[in-house]
Amino acid sequence: MLGAFTILMAVGQLLFKYGVGLSARVPGVTGILMLFSQPPVIGGLVAYAVATAIWLKVLQTTPLSKAYPVAALGFVIVPLCCVWLFGEVLSAMYLLGVIFIVAGVIVTTIR
C-alpha cells in the first residue's frame, strides 16, 4: 500500500504539470479556474484524494518513521518521469541527490 501511495502522489504531480501546461495555452485560465477547467488537474486532485485515503490506512499499521522515507521516493519518481514525459533535463548533481535519497530510503527502512 505504501508503494501505491507513492505512485499515486507522483501521478498526481505529473497530471498537475500536464494540466498547467494545457492551461497556459488558454487565455484567462489561471489559479482556481485551473482546478475546474483541465481534466488532468482534476485527475491529479483525484489521485491525491485516493493517495490520502491510502496514506491514512498505511499509518494505521506502519510507524510514520518507516513510512515517511518511502514517500520521499516521489522526489525520485517525479523528476525522472519529467525527463521522459516533458523533456526536462536533470543535472549530474540532481542524479547524485537521487542516489542519496534512494540510499536513505534503504537505510531507514531496513528492519
The predicted structure's pLDDT at residue 9: 96
Q: Return per-residue pLDDT of the chain as tens, 111 residues.
A: 999 999 999 999 999 999 888 766 666 666 677 677 789 989 999 999 999 999 999 999 999 988 999 899 999 999 999 999 999 999 999 999 999 999 999 998 886
Are residues 8 and 54 in contact, defined by beta-carbon separation less than 8 angstroms? Answer: yes
Domain map (residue ranges) of the chain: 2-109
What is the C-alpha to C-alpha distance for residues 99 and 111, in angstroms, rounded to an integer? Answer: 20
The single-letter DSSP state of residue 111 is: -
Instruction: Please state, as a whole number, how many other Cβ atoms lie within 10 Å of the Cβ of residue 42.
Output: 15
Chain centroid, CA 47 distance in Å: 10
The predicted structure's pLDDT at residue 23: 66
The predicted structure's pLDDT at residue 34: 67
